[in-house]
Chain A
């Protein structure tokens, strides 16, 4: 089982729709969760971080975390063609564990296309 799994996509939505991106993780002691956006040929850009169960909203983006289900999602409202990119889910395991340090473990990413 992969440590962080995402729907590989590609996911295609029309402009103005809600895009829903999902991620599951295997390590129950994971504490911090991040969504990064990556345009083709570019480096990952941080969109959202979430640490507690529930929803966190930032503009058109909402991150949702459910630690009991080991599930984190990202909703993009009013999707725009400029949102077309690969979205990476990243998990930071408990910093107290000697073997994990502060590393981020990434999923393979979900490619999103927003059609005008």
Chain B
């Protein structure tokens, strides 16, 4: 049973650098979500794909953030010109036709 996978699991970068994260959803799931979680808070929605179409973006997603899901399989989340406030756990989740979402292990980003 292959769950949602994310890569890398940890990323340390310097302020101003660009970073890219990858998410591979559960194979038969057509919906993919990105969330961000900071310490002591619940996850906050960033963006949502159904197949390859990006259907919704949160106001939290500034224009330094971009997400893609080419061919409706894996997805990437890129953050340009990282800031210290971007330090967080970035979570990917996927779902099938139901709305039950299953989360990957997350990518912990630290911006120095």
Which residues from chain A sit less than 8 Å from chain B, CB to CB? 4, 32, 34, 36, 42-46, 49, 88, 90, 92, 95, 100-109
- Taking A34-B100, A44-B91 as known contacts, 7 extra A-B pairs with beta carbons closer than 8 A to each other, sorted by chain A number, are A88-B43, A101-B48, A102-B33, A103-B48, A104-B33, A104-B43, A106-B43
A22 to chain B minimum Cβ distance, whole angstroms, is: 15
Chain B residues in 8 Å Cβ range of A108: 40-42
Interface residues on B, range: 20 to 34
Interface 9-residue window, one of B14-22, B62-70, B72-80, B103-111: B103-111
CB-based contact B99/A102 at 8 Å:
yes
Question: Complex Cα distance A102/B99, Å?
Answer: 7
Cβ B31 vs Cβ A102 within 8 A: yes
Expressed in whole angstroms, the minimum distance between the Cβ of A54 and any Cβ of chain B is 19
A contact face: mostly helix, strand, loop, or mixed: strand
Closest chain B residue to A100 by CB distance?
Answer: B56
By Cβ-Cβ distance, the 10 closest A-B pairs, closest first, are: A106-B42, A101-B56, A103-B45, A43-B103, A43-B106, A44-B103, A92-B99, A106-B43, A32-B99, A43-B105
Chosen A-B contacts, 11 in total, with CB atoms closer than 8 Å, are A4-B42, A42-B105, A43-B103, A44-B43, A92-B99, A102-B33, A103-B45, A103-B56, A104-B45, A106-B44, A108-B41
Interface centre among A92, A95, A104, A105, by most B CB within 10 Å?
A104
CA distance A52 to B33 in the complex (A): 25
State the CA gap A103–B33 with chains docked (Å).
8
